[in-house]
Amino acid sequence: MAEPVVGVLALQGDVREHVRALTGSGARARGVRRPEELEEVDGLVIPGGESTTMSKLADEFGLLEPIRKRIAGGMPAYGSCAGMIMLATEVLDGRPDQRGFDGIEMTVRRNAFGRQVDSFEAPVEIDGLPGPRFHAVFIRAPWVERVGDEVQVLGRVTDGPAADRIVAVRQGNLLATSFHPELTGDLRVHRYFVDLVRNAG
């Protein structure tokens, strides 16, 4: 699969930035708002935004169950920030009616690093990414408190009061980061995911 088709869940959040990063990483990228559009993609990016709003909109647009089924069937998916929350099997500090895609066996704490005013940037070393540490942008970011046996921890914060917190994971064809690589101009995370989609195809 030379040029996989990768969708970006286009209900809310930084969709255009992900489309641009995916296009620069060798994929054909397109927004996904309807179940029929989901059927046309080889992989899916779930962007940052507001996870409770995203959960509600996914249900209203009839995408919640179709995405769950495709993920359970092996479709590669990558979630950044709110997307990480949507891929988790357990969410702490979320709304009681919040629903996600139940893809990665992990417990994620919503807004763990604080509110918008507490946003920060930090270098993160990510397993499988060549080159220097990734300059990560954290905006109202979650962190991972527990992972299942099949989950590979790819990256942790190395400095500051949140040192050693898990911020990047992979389980099979599913990838998630607490941070926003689409805002940095560094395409390594998106290239990693596009390669994952290509290999899965």
pTM (global) more than 0.85: yes
pLDDT at position 93 is: 83
Name the β-bridge partners of 68.
none
**Residues 126-144: tens digit of each pLDDT:** 999 999 999 999 988 899 9
pLDDT at position 121 is: 86
Mean pLDDT of 81-89: 96
Mean pLDDT of 15-43: 97
Band of residue 116 on the pLDDT scale cut at 50, 70, 90: low
Is pLDDT at 115 greater than 80 in this prediction? no
CATH of domain 5-200: 3.40.50.880
* Measured distance CA(23)–CA(187) in Å, rounded: 10
pLDDT at position 95 is: 78
Which of these, 201, 130, 134, 200, lies nearest to 167 by C-alpha position?
134
* Measured distance CA(77)–CA(47) in Å, rounded: 11
pLDDT at position 118 is: 58
Check: CB of residue 108 under 8 Å from CB of residue 91.
yes
pLDDT at position 193 is: 98
Domain ranges of the chain: 5-200
Instruction: State percent of the chain over pLDDT 70.
Output: 96
Mean pLDDT of 86-102: 89
Summary mean pLDDT of the chain? 92
pLDDT at position 75 is: 98
Q: What residues act catalytically?
A: 81, 180, 182
> Which burial class, exposed, middle or buried, applies to 20 when counting CB atoms under 10 A from its CB (0-12, 13-18, 19+)?
middle
Two tokens, residue 135 = 């300059």
Instruction: State percent of the chain over pLDDT 90.
Output: 77
Which of these, 43, 36, 47, 45, lies nearest to 3 by C-alpha position?
43
Mean pLDDT of 50-78: 95
* Measured distance CA(173)–CA(162) in Å, rounded: 27
